């Protein structure tokens, strides 16, 4: 600065001030700048096109909420799976350590055979279908062009989408015949694992109903034992209340009857039975309702997502005076045959009532639409 002329000092000072200002701007953290740019993009999207409607505005405004929910669900999927394993394992432990020995001591041989056979069949069905639902990929459309028919192009994957295919924001990919993303499976329910998911729901709901009904009397006995143990305290005088109601003369003291002795093991057994009955009854009601709803959808030949799409399309067609028909509905019985993969009469036993790893009909890329109806089994 000393050797520069006075005419040069002012431009140098201006350059220095501008460089300092630029440095100050760059001190803003990168994630804040990214969030700010993202919010600006959302605001600009509201008036980007003349086709903007209420749905576009709603999606743009609530996009951060949707992204947060998808992010949390994606990372907590493993926690939900562990929770299912822990809760189911605790019920099995109570059944083997407490209920099964009690059954052998008190039940007749015929009832023992029924409980042992049915209980183990139900357990195998639950474990098998839950494992297959978790580990089986629901299926995704090919990323390369292969000549398969498609109905749209995914805006996020930028790949052709076949019929009944939808994009999952949690899995961040397109899913063939997507029904929904299940956090309890940490997986999407789609074309190749939809049957495993439904069979697991049926087996678990039936198993919970079985435990709730068969353990009702045990629950009442355990609950009464806990209440009796907590309600009576041996050695507590009750002279005040006796004098108050006129049952005892003044100055006379009496004591409550001592509760029967309960060991730690007996208390643990009672509380375990109460825990099992409350958990299985709650799951039976919640999961049973969900299973019945999915059974109705399967009977109609539609998924959870298609339920909303068909409802909107039906209202639109009715307003025009027409009648809407679901193109994938082949009749109730045929819908179940296609869903369960039943191709002959023996499959009702080998593929429905017993664990089976057979693949569903079709590849999930091409679909037969009505009025093409395949009667797989003459009825």
Catalytic residues: 182
**Cα-atom radius of gyration of the chain, to the nearest Å?**
33
Q: Distance between CA atoms of 341 and 128, rounded to whole angstroms?
A: 17
Cis before 371? omega within 30: yes
Q: Are 193 and 136 in contact (CB under 8 A)?
A: yes
270 CB-contact burial (10 Å; exposed 0-12 / middle 13-18 / buried 19+) = buried
Of 192, 179, 178, 198, nearest in space to 292 by CA: 198
- For 242, other C-beta atoms within 10 Å of its C-beta total 16
Supply φ then ψ for residue 368, to 5 degrees. -80, 130
Rounded to the nearest 5 degrees, what angle is found at the Cα of 129, between the Cα atoms of 277 and 308?
A: 90
Residue ranges of alpha helices (H) inside the chain are: 6-26, 30-45, 54-61, 63-94, 100-106, 109-135, 194-214, 216-231, 239-244, 264-300, 304-319, 332-340, 347
Q: Distance between CA atoms of 58 and 47, rounded to whole angstroms?
A: 13
């Amino acid at each position: 600065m000393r050797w520069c002329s006075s005419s040069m000092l002012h431009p140098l000072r201006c350059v220095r001030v501008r460089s300092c200002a630029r440095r100050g701007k760059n001190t803003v953290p990168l994630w804040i700048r990214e969030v700010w740019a993202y919010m600006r993009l959302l605001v600009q999207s509201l008036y980007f096109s003349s086709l903007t409607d209420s749905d576009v505005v709603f999606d743009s405004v609530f996009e951060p909420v949707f992204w947060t929910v998808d992010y949390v669900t994606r990372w907590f999927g493993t926690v939900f799976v562990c929770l299912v394993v822990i809760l189911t394992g605790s019920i099995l432990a109570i059944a083997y350590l407490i209920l099964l020995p009690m059954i052998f001591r008190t039940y007749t041989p015929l009832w023992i055979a029924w409980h042992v056979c049915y209980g183990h069949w139900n357990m195998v069905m639950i474990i098998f279908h839950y494992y297959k639902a978790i580990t089986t990929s629901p299926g995704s459309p090919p990323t390369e062009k292969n000549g398969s028919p498609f109905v749209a192009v995914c805006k996020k994957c930028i790949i052709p989408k076949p019929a009944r295919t939808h994009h999952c924001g949690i899995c961040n990919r397109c899913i063939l015949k997507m029904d929904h993303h299940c956090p309890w499976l940490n997986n999407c329910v789609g074309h190749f694992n939809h049957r495993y998911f439904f069979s697991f729901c049926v087996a678990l709901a039936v198993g919970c109903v079985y435990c709730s009904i068969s353990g009702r009397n045990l629950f009442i006995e355990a609950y009464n034992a806990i209440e009796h143990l907590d309600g009576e305290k041996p050695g507590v005088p009750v002279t005040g209340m006796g004098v108050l109601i006129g049952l005892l003369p003044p100055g006379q003291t009496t004591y409550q009857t001592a509760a029967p002795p309960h060991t730690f093991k007996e208390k643990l057994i009672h509380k375990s039975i109460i825990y099992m009955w409350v958990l299985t009854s709650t799951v039976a009601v919640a999961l049973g309702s969900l299973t019945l709803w999915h059974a109705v959808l399967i009977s109609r030949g539609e998924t959870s997502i298609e339920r909303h799409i068909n409802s909107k399309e039906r209202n639109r067609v009715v307003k025009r005076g027409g009648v809407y028909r679901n193109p994938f509905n082949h009749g109730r019985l045929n819908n179940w045959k296609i869903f369960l993969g039943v191709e002959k009469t023996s499959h009702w036993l080998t593929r429905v009532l017993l664990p089976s790893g057979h693949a569903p009909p079709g590849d999930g890329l091409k679909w037969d639409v009505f009025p093409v109806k395949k009667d797989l089994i003459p009825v």
